[in-house]
Amino acid sequence: MKIFLLVLCFVVAFYNLSLPHLLFISLVPLFPFFVNIWLVPGGFAWRNLDLNPTKIPGPVGWPFLGILPKMGPHAHRKLASIASSMGATRLMAFSLGSTRVVITSHPETAKEILCGSVFSDRPIKESASLLMFERAIGFAPSGMYWRHLRRIAANHMFSPKRVSSLECLRQRVCDQMMEKVSNEMSVRGVVELRGILQKGSLRNIIESVFGSGLGLEIEEELGFMVKEGYELISEFHWGDYFPIRVLDFTGLKRRCHKLTLKVKSLVGQIVEERKRDSTKGTNNGPNDFLSVLLSLPEEDQLTHADMVAVLWEMIFRGTDTVAILVEWIMARMVLHQDIQAKAQHEIEELVGGHRVVQDSDIPNLSYVQAIIKEVLRLHPPGPLLSWARLSTHDVQVGKFFVPAGTTAMVNMWAITHDPSIWKNPWDFKPERFMEEDFPILGSDLRLAPFGSGRRVCPGKSLGLATVSLWLARLLQRYKWLPSTKVDLSECLKLSLELKRPLTCHAVVR
């Protein structure tokens, strides 16, 4: 180093170099350092060569930041493009700050990750932890408590019998949405579906969870809390990607703490009131999830704090997915009038015009079901199967070594747009699902919009039942026509949604 400084002084004196040149020369000895910590497959987080002995391919990205600058409303497309260009669809490594990540765009590798016991945990963002999701089904670490929650969900909350018992609620909420569609057409001449679907979806999940006795004021307050929660959990936070969790540059932790206090107060109050009613013999809502939790045997009962966290997560996660998916489907129906007409003809043939579609009709509406599957393929609500997995110990994935503590993602959007898997993948063609009974609940990773394995979405059957019934009824009642050019631009937030709300005309049939 001393010799270098002597040489540097001689060069500066001899060539009379400017300050920028001097700065450049002074940084030359640091180049090997930067090469070792940055210019490695996967980037900064993979700088220790022992972490990637099998050389998982991946982009170098920016120093220290990795590919964080590329993540945004089209992250699923950008990651698919990078993986394809590097020949890394099986597995690709990259860095999100100091966080090590691997991602697959291949169904076989996706199955290894999603169905493997090593990836049974989820990495939890600080905002998600602060909002109590660490004690709910989605983020609780694998173990006895999580298995207990999953068993309760499967046996008592999302069982076929429970889903069927909520049909009357789904029908009633759909009636209310139809009325709002009619009112908007009368007043404005056009319908903006997003607001109607969001309010309907919120009411549906709130009454599924708490029953029908809350009152409008409490329902609206819950809606405001869900909206705020989405904003917080979608917000970029440095502490999720760098070990600086003590800092709160944006005030996110303070806002999460404030919202959590509101949730504990309001949801906790609802739980306590229901407990008091049950001791008095008042049966306020035998079909709702809270009643189910309170009626569990003593050995299965949850603590008050855990019950609040579970109920809050159900409202939070159950609100947007249904509304977003139905809006995507209706955008496609408006855009593809021939497909809409074919679905309406199927409904008329099976149901006729003298009664509304019921749950029992849905299995026989094969073309309507094919439309839903095709929209899930083209516009999966969770294109990166958001909320990814975390390797609990070292594991071999295919031919690659993945170290413990690595975040693993599945790019479902890339899989469902892969021309080697799907013929003409960019075409909207529901007929492709009429040729075979294609499962979408997680057994076939060519299309698994709800995930797969142990962490598959527990409410998938309830969500599909709601989407199927509402879609069939919307098509049965109205012919949907464009009011402006249909814009299919995407925006990835917590879920993949239409960038601009869909507006259209609804004509009574």
Binding-site positions for heme read 457
| Residue 105 φ/ψ, nearest 5 degrees | -120, 30
Between the two ends of the chain, the Cα-to-Cα distance in Å is 84
Taking alpha carbons only, the member of 378, 330, 375, 374 closest to residue 483 is 330
Strand order in the sheet with 92-96: 92-96, 99-104, 407-410, 389-390
Q: Cα(326)–Cα(324) distance, rounded to whole angstroms?
A: 6
One DSSP character per residue, 255-268 reads: HHHHHHHHHHHHHH
CA distances from 170 to 22, 286, 492 (A): 71, 16, 27
User: Which token pair is 247?
Assistant: 């800092």
Cα angle 43, 45, 47 (rounded to 5 degrees) comes to 70
Exposed, middle or buried: residue 12 (CB in 10 Å: 0-12, 13-18, 19+)?
Answer: middle
User: Which token pair is 337?
Assistant: 């009038």
3-class secondary-structure state, position 457: coil
CA distances from 356 to 171, 327, 351 (A): 9, 21, 7
Helices (H) and strands (E) in the chain, counts: 18, 11
Taking alpha carbons only, the member of 131, 75, 142 closest to residue 103 is 75
Contact in structure between 44 and 38 (CB atoms under 8 Å): yes
Q: What is the DSSP letter of 302?
A: P
Strand order in the sheet with 478-482: 191-192, 503-508, 478-482
Binding residues: 457
> How many Cβ atoms sit within 10 Å of the Cβ of residue 376?
23
H or E segment and range at residue 86: none
User: Pairing relation of β-strands 478-482 and 503-508?
Assistant: antiparallel
Q: Cα(357)–Cα(462) distance, rounded to whole angstroms?
A: 17
Residue 204: half-sphere exposure toward Cβ, Cα within 13 Å? 33
User: Which token pair is 336?
Assistant: 């593809």
